[in-house]
Each structure stands twice: as structure tokens, then as C-alpha cells.
């Protein structure tokens, strides 16, 4: 496990690197030869390139994954052997942790320590799934006299994983860990804004001994590489993390072939503070849950619902912390880094400007460091109070360092407001009242509810996924292994 970032390394690694796809165990450029420049969000400077793949590259990757699934050594491997390969990959990532952390940090603009946390998170996903590979039993089902019925867990086959740019290593870990543990083969399409660590992990998988064709990577734009992958007739299952709009497009594409999907589509996650909450414990957690990764986190705690009697106290304490926050380049390892690209920075600024124009009170604003390079995509953190529950700010995923406070009167209104968005990914309840902890946790429509804590990004063991527009299917924990496999019933008539 890596314990601290090496900032000098963060600045220099990957210079001039011309990254390739990984198809059938080989590093290959796009067949067209086209590339996409890779720039760091911290200064806009280009430092590498990735293939700009299209349908021809996707076809080759899916064919390699299909061949590995049907006929390669992978097809005959026991669950124990798959688990051992996953442990070997975990170890390889550990041996290369410094390089990977630095690369992730530079590619996505993450503060250096977040790159470290992401490498450790990815390792934990591979470790968990390595250990789980030979432990998920099927069932024997009581049936008619003279019969024995089994329910087997079988891999889907070729799994396509379409991954976003906010936590590439961690999301790769949770997708690939579970899919490979269950015996599937993979084609991963990382995000065009942060593909480098995914390519590196696929290289490490080969070094760890994964047979060729098991772990393929095709980089490129969503419309050119992601779309043909999700519509591919030889892909058996699609897993996606990203925006609801793209999720709808991917589901429609997968529906052409009636394929199963797992969709993790973000949230507008509330943290509810009742008057008896331990504010001292809550305060750093509330701030971190929206500032971590610049707020570009599906499980960001982007709404604070506060009981009216403590509203002003909470507002003052949060404002003090928010006004001290500084956005800095990733190498400075500050409170937060830049956003991933200009489009995201503009999008977040659009939400902030619209809320200000509508007269929403600004309780505090942080700053962008004076040392931040002009080519970077920086946004200052903002804390809004008295947010209109019907406004875009209260209802839509901003995906930036923007926190909304809303006041409530009583438990019923707290629950109503918590549920008053289209999303339902994560929530938190802060209260010392045991009965209320249970009542509120049960009443919130959300895939995870934390009581007196918050788990932005954490919890490899915990099932994770959405209600409502946050998506469907579950990742992480043993639930992920069920999603990454299908039940086959075998019925013996033995008289």
C-alpha cells in the first residue's frame, strides 16, 4: 500500500508517452493511426497521446475477448486459478503504485494524495474479488422426487465496461475485479479524458499472467468507440458509469441485442443534519464529501439538509471552512485540484452563475490559487444557502465543488426533501436518536444510507448502486459478482 505521493514524480511521469490499445495481449495503435492528445487539467499541457479508436478497433477487441472466452486457457481455468491471477494483478499494481498514482493524478488533475488513494482503492477491489472468486456458491434447489436441481453461476461471456474519467482506477478495479473473478473476458473503453492508467493496468495484467485476450482496452471518444462497443452483437453484458444521458444511449444500444446492463449514473446525494447531530464530527465529513476530487464524484454529498433550529450555526461553521478552501494544481496536493476539462469547468460555472443570478445566497466562496497555471480548468468552491428545492442547483448533478444548503422543519420534511430529486445513490443521516436513525434510513430511496458517517467513494465490501435515475444493478461487494454472472438451472432426472 502506498502511503504518500511523490510530487516530483507526479510532475514528470509519462512525458512523451504514446499509449496504445491492448487487444489480444498486444499493444496496438488505432487501425486508422489516429490519436487524441492527452493534456493535464492542471496546466493544459499535452504530455501523451492515446489511440482515437473506432468500430474497426472495437471489432478486433471484441473478437479477441470472444476467442479468449471460448477457447483460450481462461475458458478452462478454475475459480481458484482466476483468484490467484487477480491477486497477482493486485501485487503488480502495488509494485507500480507510485507510477500509477502519479499518472492518474496528472491525467485527471487529482491532488497527488487522491491519486494515491485511488491506487490503493483499485488494489483493494482486486484483492476483494481475488479472494471472492472461489467463494460464491451456486445452489441446490429442492425439487420433485427423483430429480436433483442445481443453480449454477455462469459468466456472461464478453463484458464491455465503459468507464468515466473521475475515478478511472477505482472504477476499473470494481468492474474488472468482479467481471474477471466470475470468468468473463473484458473490453474496457476508458474515458477520453483519462485513459492512461487503464492501459497501464491492462499491461500489468499481462505481466501478472492473464492469458491474452482476457483484458482488452480500446480508447477513444464515446461516439466513435463507446457507441459501437455498447451496440456490438458479440458483447454479452455492458456495465457503465457516467451521466444519465449517456446511460440512456448505452442502454438503447445494448437493447438492440437484448443484452443485460449495469448502470451507475450519479446522484444528488443529501446529508441530513438533525438538531441533535454531533456537528464537530460531521463538519469535516460534510466538507470532504463535496470537495474530494473537486466534487467530481458520483457519490458526492452535494446537498446539506439542516433542521431549522441549527441552520445558522451549521451555515457559519461550513462557511468558515469553505472560505479557506483553495483550488490548486495537482502537484500542490491542495484542498482540491482543477476540474477535468474546460467543458466541465464551464458546466459547473454555469450552475453557479445561474444560481447567483436567481438571487440564491452565497454563504462562502473559496479561491483559485494565484499559482494555478492559466491553461488549467479551475473553479472556486461555492457554498449556497437557502437553495430553492425546485431549482436546478437543488435537483441536478453539478459535478463540481458546489454545496447547497436547504433548511427543513421536522422529520417528515427532511425525508421528503431527501427524496425530492430524480436520483437515489447515497445519503447520510446525522442524529443521536436511534429510532430516528432507523426510520429515516429506511424511508430514503437510495442505494446506500450512512448514519453518522459518509462514504464518498469508500467501501469495497458494500453493495453500491442506484434507485431511480441513479441507475440499476449493483457493484462492489458480493452483489457485484451476482451481477457479473447469470444463473443457469440444471435439472437431473435420476429416477
The span of 24-32, 99-107, 224-232, 475-483 binding ligand NAI (CB under 6 A) equals: 224-232
Of the pair 114, 485, the CB lying nearest Mg ion is at: 114
Q: CA nearest 183: which of 154, 208, 206?
A: 154
CA distances from 165 to 222, 488, 490 (A): 12, 35, 41
Enumerate binding residues for Mg ion (CB under 5 A).
Answer: 107, 193-194
Of the pair 54, 212, the CB lying nearest ligand NAI is at: 54
Residue with cell 497521446: 49
| 317 interacts with, out of ligand NAI, Mg ion, none, CB within 5 to 8 A per kind | none
Cell numbers at residue 350, please? 454555469
Binding ligand NAI (rule: CB under 6 A), the pick from 51, 98, 161, 242 is 242
Of the pair 19, 64, the CB lying nearest Mg ion is at: 19
**CA dist., res. 109 & res. 298, Å (int):** 17
In the bound complex, what is the minimum distance in angstroms from residue 123's beta carbon to ligand NAI? 20
Q: How many residues bind ligand NAI (CB under 6 A)?
A: 26
| 43 interacts with, out of ligand NAI, Mg ion, none, CB within 5 to 8 A per kind | none
| 194 interacts with, out of ligand NAI, Mg ion, none, CB within 5 to 8 A per kind | Mg ion
Which of positions 397-426 make contact with ligand NAI (CB under 6 A)? 397, 399
Cell numbers at residue 481, please? 459478482
Binding ligand NAI (rule: CB under 6 A), the pick from 40, 49, 230, 485 is 230
Binding ligand NAI (rule: CB under 6 A), the pick from 298, 300, 325, 481 is 298
Binding ligand NAI (rule: CB under 6 A), the pick from 50, 123, 162, 287 is 162
227 binds ligand NAI (CB under 6 A): yes
347 binds ligand NAI (CB under 6 A): yes
Of the pair 14, 301, the CB lying nearest Mg ion is at: 14
Q: CA nearest 101: which of 38, 19, 188, 14?
A: 14
**CA dist., res. 404 & res. 385, Å (int):** 6
243 binds ligand NAI (CB under 6 A): yes
Catalytic, out of 264, 328, 397, 475: 264
**CA dist., res. 164 & res. 460, Å (int):** 18
- The answer to whether 475 is a known catalytic residue is no
Binding mask 250-279 for ligand NAI (x = CB under 6 A): x--------------xx-------------
Of the pair 314, 339, the CB lying nearest Mg ion is at: 339
Catalytic, out of 104, 212, 298, 307: 298
Which of positions 173-212 make contact with ligand NAI (CB under 6 A)? 189, 191-192
In the bound complex, what is the minimum distance in angstroms from residue 466's beta carbon to ligand NAI? 9
Of the pair 92, 189, the CB lying nearest ligand NAI is at: 189
- Indicate which residues carry an active-site annotation: 264, 298
Q: Which residues make up the interface to ligand NAI (CB under 6 A)?
A: 162-164, 166, 189, 191-192, 221-223, 226-227, 230, 241-243, 246, 249-250, 265-266, 298, 344, 347, 397, 399
Amino acid at each position: 500500500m502506498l502511503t504518500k505521493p511523490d510530487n516530483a514524480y507526479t510532475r514528470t511521469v509519462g512525458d512523451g508517452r504514446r499509449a496504445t490499445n491492448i487487444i489480444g495481449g498486444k499493444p496496438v495503435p488505432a487501425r486508422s493511426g489516429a490519436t487524441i492528445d492527452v493534456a493535464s487539467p492542471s496546466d493544459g499541457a499535452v504530455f501523451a497521446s492515446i489511440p482515437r479508436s473506432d468500430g474497426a478497433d472495437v471489432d478486433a477487441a471484441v473478437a479477441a475477448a470472444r476467442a479468449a472466452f471460448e477457447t483460450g486457457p481462461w475458458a478452462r481455468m478454475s475459480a481458484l486459478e482466476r483468484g490467484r491471477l487477480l491477486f497477482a494483478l493486485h501485487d503488480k499494481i502495488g509494485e507500480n503504485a507510485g507510477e500509477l498514482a502519479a499518472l492518474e493524478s496528472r491525467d485527471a488533475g487529482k491532488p497527488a494524495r487522491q491519486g494515491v488513494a485511488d491506487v490503493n482503492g483499485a488494489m483493494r477491489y482486486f484483492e476483494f474479488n481475488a479472494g471472492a472468486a472461489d467463494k460464491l456458491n451456486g445452489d441446490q434447489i429442492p425439487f420433485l422426487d427423483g430429480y436433483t436441481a442445481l443453480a449454477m453461476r455462469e459468466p456472461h461471456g464478453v463484458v464491455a465496461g465503459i468507464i468515466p474519467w473521475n475515478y478511472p482506477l477505482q472504477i476499473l478495479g470494481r468492474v474488472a475485479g468482479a467481471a474477471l473473478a466470475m470468468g468473463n473476458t473484458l473490453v474496457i473503453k476508458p474515458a477520453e479524458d483519462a485513459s492512461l492508467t487503464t492501459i497501464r493496468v491492462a499491461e500489468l495484467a499481462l505481466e501478472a499472467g492473464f492469458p491474452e485476450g482476457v483484458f482488452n482496452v480500446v480508447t477513444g471518444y464515446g461516439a466513435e468507440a463507446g457507441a459501437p462497443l455498447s451496440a456490438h452483437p458479440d458483447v454479452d453484458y455492458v456495465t457503465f458509469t457516467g451521466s444519465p444521458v449517456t446511460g440512456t444511449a448505452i442502454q438503447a444500444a445494448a437493447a438492440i441485442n437484448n443484452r443485460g446492463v449495469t448502470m451507475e449514473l450519479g446522484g444528488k446525494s443529501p446529508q441530513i443534519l438533525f438538531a441533535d447531530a454531533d456537528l464537530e464530527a460531521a463538519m469535516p465529513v460534510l466538507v470532504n464529501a463535496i470537495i474530494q476530487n473537486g466534487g467530481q464524484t458520483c457519490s458526492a454529498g452535494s446537498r446539506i439538509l439542516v433542521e431549522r433550529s441549527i441552520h445558522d450555526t451549521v451555515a457559519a461553521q461550513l462557511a468558515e471552512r469553505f472560505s479557506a478552501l483553495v483550488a490548486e494544481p495537482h502537484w500542490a496536493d491542495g484542498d482540491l485540484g482543477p476540474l477535468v476539462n474546460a467543458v466541465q469547468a464551464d458546466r459547473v460555472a454555469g450552475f453557479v452563475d445561474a444560481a447567483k443570478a436567481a438571487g440564491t445566497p452565497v454563504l462562502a466562496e473559496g479561491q483559485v490559487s494565484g499559482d494555478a497555471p492559466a491553461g488549467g480548468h479551475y473553479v472556486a468552491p461555492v457554498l449556497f444557502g437557502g437553495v430553492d428545492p425546485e431549482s436546478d442547483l437543488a435537483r441536478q448533478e453539478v459535478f463540481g465543488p458546489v454545496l447547497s444548503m436547504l433548511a427543513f422543519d421536522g422529520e417528515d420534511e427532511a425525508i421528503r426533501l431527501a427524496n425530492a430529486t430524480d436520483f437515489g445513490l447515497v445519503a447520510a443521516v446525522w442524529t443521536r436518536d436511534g429510532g430516528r436513525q432507523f426510520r429515516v434510513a429506511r424511508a430514503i430511496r437510495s442505494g446506500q444510507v450512512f448514519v453518522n458517517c459518509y462514504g464518498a467513494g469508500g467501501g469495497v465490501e458494500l453493495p453500491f448502486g442506484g434507485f431511480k435515475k441513479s441507475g440499476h444493478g449493483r457493484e462492489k461487494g458480493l452483489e457485484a459478482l451476482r451481477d457479473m454472472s447469470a444463473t443457469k438451472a440444471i435439472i437431473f432426472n435420476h429416477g
